[in-house]
Amino acid sequence: MALVAAVRVPARVLFRSGARLPGAALGRTERAAGGGDGARRFGSQRVLVEPDAGAGVAVMKFKNPPVNSLSLEFLTELVISMEKLENDKSFRSVILTSDCPGVFSAGLDLTEMCGKSPAHYAEYWKAVQEMWLRLYQSNLVLVSAINGACPAGGCLMALTCDYRILADNPRYCIGLNETQLGIVAPFWFKDTLENAIGHREAERALQLGLLFPPAEALQVGIVDQVVPEEQVQSTALSTIAQWMAIPDHARQLTKAMMRKATASRLITQRDADVQNFVSFISKDSIQKSLQMYLERLKEKKG
């Protein structure tokens, strides 16, 4: 699945109450270089949102080094930042990309899912759900500029977008590789992938935990375009221009219609999904598998 730990308040509570994380100056803004009059950068520890020169476009950069793991803190800041953009009528579109070289996002933080209490697992999973719902149901045009490796939860984030552009680098693979860690992708991960690439390809990819290099990712349809690495950002901007040429109300209603069934399936089963996750991740066999994987990662770093 996609796999850090710390904040003890669910992301949904934080963004609904307007609370802020310590040190995350989400209320502070500063003028962005080259952004023009009124262009302001949202200051945040792990998520940087800055306007681009193109009117109505914001670039959201993930900066949770070394690999942009989806920690509870990162998820909280991401949801708050998305809410700020959605409430600011000057923004119509967002480019999701990475500020960490070589990786878009390595996915859910394994340390959030290993050696913690059931209460923490539940809190963390609610934050993951909230992130997906916020991105998947957004009225904004979302384009992922995938400038690095994109497994598991990173892939899930990219799949929520309206359009996906991947840098043409053989090291930048994308896919839901949960089974390789002994984990089963939840039904809404499966639904999101299946919507993109079809039932048969999704079934094969999920069972084998496949990570697709750029050419295969394009062929199977998990991304919409593969371009040279230095052209990812410019291609994202030109793509957004095409989407923004469509009247917002018509595009938004169409998007909501296309995605309603998938989103509603999770919304109506949120509590059960949390309970299933906690029950599954708490199993001794799963904990041992995650611990072994984390130990291997430590050895590689050593």
> pLDDT tens across 53-76, in order?
457 999 999 999 999 999 999 999
Edge-first strand listing for the sheet containing 47-51: 29-31, 40-42, 47-51, 57-62, 93-98, 141-146, 163-167, 225-227
Give me the residue label for tokens 């080094």. 65
Which amino acid is present at 48? L
Give me the residue label for tokens 């291997």. 296
Q: 12-54: per-residue pLDDT in tens?
A: 333 333 333 333 333 334 444 334 434 566 667 899 998 764 5
pLDDT of residue 183: 84
What is the rounded average pLDDT of the residues 114-119?
93
The neighbouring-strand residues paired with 12 are none
- Threshold 0.75, pTM exceeds: yes
Alpha-carbon 240 to chain mean position: 18
Maximum CA extent, the chain: 56
pLDDT of residue 28: 39
- Please name which of 171, 151, 61, 164 lies closest in space to residue 107, comparing C-alpha atoms: 151
Residue 255 has pLDDT above 60, yes or no: yes
pLDDT of residue 31: 45
pLDDT of residue 136: 98
Determine whether domain 42-300 maps to CATH 1.10.3720.10. Answer: no
Residue 3 has pLDDT above 90, yes or no: no
Give me the residue label for tokens 């949801």. 79
Catalytic residues, which ones? 108, 153, 177-178
Which amino acid is present at 263? A
What is the rounded average pLDDT of the residues 203-210?
98
Residue spans of the domains in the chain: they are 42-300
Q: 256-291: per-residue pLDDT in tens?
A: 999 999 999 999 999 999 999 999 999 998 898 888
Let me know: does 98 contact 104? Beta carbons within 8 Å: yes
Q: Give the DSSP per-residue string, 115-170.
A: S--HHHHHHHHHHHHHHHHHHHT-SSEEEEEE-EEEEHHHHHHHHTSSEEEEES-T
Residue 251 has pLDDT above 50, yes or no: yes
pLDDT of residue 20: 31
CA distance 102 to 146: 10
Residues 6+ apart with CB under 8 A from 241: 54
CA distance 160 to 194: 12
